[in-house]
A and B are shown apart, each in its own frame.
Chain A
Amino acid sequence: MPVLTKAMVPGLLTTGGSTRVNAAVAPKFKKGDKVKARNIHPPGHTRLPRYVRGKIGVIETDHGVFVLPDSNAHGKGETPQHVYTVRFGAREVFGATAGPKDSIYADLWDDYLEPA
């Protein structure tokens, strides 16, 4: 089993254990695309919060390729894919009493999204 040495610590702390992957994976979406967060309810790990599921937003930023938590948390491999910041209107997510000009930004993996 590998051992944590003093020399390893600064690097580990500065990267924060980043799960960015250096893999050439094609994105399904690009900035400006209208997307819908999928209405999925996996019993295992996911980073798709319930409050955006089924909601329509716009791709704001493509952050590059990262390990998919849904598979990696269960020994099912890294499934590397693009992660995007998606902008949702506040009223889309939280209804008519939310601010008319407010937005919710969520960082979402490619598999969490479908074209809208």
Chain B
Amino acid sequence: MNGIHDLGGMHGYGAVEPERNEPIFHAPWERRAFGLMLAVFAGGAYNVDEFRHSIERMAPADYLTTSYYEHWLHAVETLVVEQGLIKQSELAAKWAALGKGGA
């Protein structure tokens, strides 16, 4: 796919600046996202290539403005719906509840 992920050679993004003393996880949710991805992978819902391709399919503006583990979370959410494990309406209801301060 000639998608937004294929950035090699593009101009305008500035220098690559690795984060100094980067922790393995910036926040507890990143650790959970990592574990979630592995658990659902081990469960056979997707292979690594399907996983990567689901990230490539993000809306370009979203891809560029979200972090590594936000990409992973997007991938798991997309694939479990596409695989029929969860309904999009269930995800949407949960997002709405979280947005209102729920859990």
Contacts and interface: CB of A to CB of B under 8 A. Distances in A.
A73 B6 contact: no
Interface residues of B, number: 19
A4 interface: yes
B103 interface: no
Interface residues of A, number: 25
A43 B53 CA distance: 11
B1 interface: yes
25 contacts: A1-B43, A1-B45, A3-B39, A3-B42, A4-B41, A4-B42, A4-B43, A9-B38, A12-B42, A17-B41, A19-B48, A44-B1, A45-B1, A45-B49, A49-B6, A50-B9, A51-B9, A67-B49, A69-B52, A69-B53, A72-B47, A72-B50, A73-B50, A74-B50, A74-B53
Interface of A: 1-4, 8-9, 12, 17, 19, 41-46, 49-51, 67, 69, 72-74, 93-94
